[in-house]
Amino acid sequence: MLRLELSYPHRELRIPITGRGLCLMPAVFVKTPGMPLDPGEPPTVSYPARGVATVWESAPPAGPGVLADLVGRRKAAILACLERPASTTDLARRLGVTPGAVSQHLAVLRGAGLVGRARAGRSVLYARTPLGDRLATGSPVRIP
């Protein structure tokens, strides 16, 4: 008979697992392995998942080549990051540059009509305008 034995400083539990299987469950919000509270529950062991620090990270998308040639690599990367509204601080963190540098690039992009801004509580969020969307996605732009 197979059984799962887990020992903790204040508790010991033996659960028969023959024919029931064993579920190993990595979890983001646990620091130590966990076990079922009752022997009648399915045999499951939760444990801290590896790489948790990178769960919410996202690599900045690469700016399109031609757009980067036109507006510069950093401005193209900022446009690419603005798939959804973001603050200056969020963009700086994602791109690995200072908020001041991002702010300067956003001012240029805003002056060119490629991004807009709106206040959301205590934050100012930037988003691409329709023209900025077309440039960032490579859609054709009609010139009147």
Centre a 10 Å sphere on the Cβ of residue 112 and count the other Cβ atoms it contains.
Answer: 14
Evaluate whether 127 touches 116 at the Cβ level (below 8 Å).
yes
pLDDT exceeds 90 at position 107: yes
Query: Where does the chain show beta strands of DSSP type E?
Result: 3-8, 11-16, 23-27, 44-48, 86-87, 115-120, 123-128
d(CA 142, CA 119): 30
The most confident of 16-20, 27-31, 121-125, 135-139, by mean pLDDT: 121-125
Backbone angles phi, psi at 117, to 5 degrees: -140, 155
Which amino acid, 62? A
Instruction: For residue range 60-93, list pLDDT tens digits in order.
Output: 555 557 777 778 888 989 998 998 899 999 999 9
Q: Is the pTM of this model over 0.75?
A: no
The two structure tokens encoding residue 93:
């963190």
Centre a 10 Å sphere on the Cβ of residue 68 and count the other Cβ atoms it contains.
Answer: 17
86-87: strand order across its sheet: 86-87, 123-128, 115-120
